[in-house]
Amino acid sequence: MRFVVAGAGAVGSVFGGLLAGRGHDVLLVGREPHMAAIRESGLAVTGLFGDQVTRPRVATDLARAAEPTDAVLVGVKSHATESIARTLAAWADRPRLVVSLQNGLGNVETLAASLPARVLAARVIFGAIVTAPGRAHVTVCAKPVAVGPLRDDPASEADAQRLAEVFADAGIPSEAAGATEPILWEKALYNCGLNPLGALHGLTYGEVAASEALRPLLDGAMDEAFAVARASGIALVWKTEAEFRVHFHSTLLPPTAAHRSSMRQDLEGGRPTEVDAIGGAIVRAGERHGVPTPINRRLVAEIHEAERKGSRSEPA
């Protein structure tokens, strides 16, 4: 298949590198010096999915990278989704299939609003970091990537199944999903407390959960998000907040306990975070449905304050 990866950071590089390793035609679109290093010496992907060096093509300007492709994989931060959608919509050969690999809620809807393409979501719950230009390392993996439409859509089933098989063949654990909206919300529940708390206090996910001071905030943020999801009509598989907390601490957290929040990496790099698409989206949905979200609101505000200061807060 022909793939364009729009936003080849850590996760996008893992997808692009491993797909290129299986012989697919991959164009990575990302920033220097990462793209320059790949152009010069190839892309090294290491970690849980195996170690290999591949040579995908690279570019730094998505508008000028327009070319016929089977699928565009969108890996940019959520605050850049609208810009990416406009750029793709302006391509002469507009893509038929677009897949969001992104964190947060609302990315699929934003892409679909601007593009005539079929837009799928890939719930990505493995962690990766760019350890140096030209090198991406997979650190943790909680569940397989789940690929599918936001809501049930029989017309999308074949595309979702094919992509899941292609990803899995490349070494990325993946499965097709009938509707991704509930599992994107599950990831938002997973992220809404862990990401900001880990970012603010410089802790791994496991250290956040083990902290007597932070554990109540972590659980409280998830409980609020669960109540908002239920009020929004999201078909979660857990009946109560308590059931989800048990699932989180027993199943989701252990494989990712050593991971450090990508939000922390953004703060350290002086970049805007994705907090508005995670905790912010939960706060906004809570306002629409009359569900109070004081902990998520507080964490969003503290991340914005840390963005303004260019540093993290000190532990409580």
User: Residues with Cβ < 8 Å from 231, sequence gap 6 or more?
Assistant: 285, 286, 289, 290, 291
CA-angle at 244, arms to 282 and 188, nearest 5°: 30
Using the CB atoms, write b or e for 65-93: b if 16+ within 10 Å: bbeebbbbbbbbbbebbeebbebbeebee
Cα–Cα distance between 264 and 196 in angstroms, integer? 8
Kindly state the tokens that stand for 3.
């793939």
Q: Please report which helix (H) or strand (E) contains residue 2, including its range.
A: strand 2-6
Q: CA 79 from chain center: how many Å?
A: 12
User: Which residue(s) pair with 98 in the sheet?
Assistant: 72, 119
d(CA 303, CA 262): 13
Query: Which are the catalytic amino acids?
Result: 187
Q: Nearest 5°: phi and psi at 10?
A: -65, -55
11, two tokens: 């996760």
The DSSP 8-state label assigned to residue 313 in this structure reads P
Nearest to 92 by CA among 73, 66, 129: 66
d(CA 2, CA 13): 15
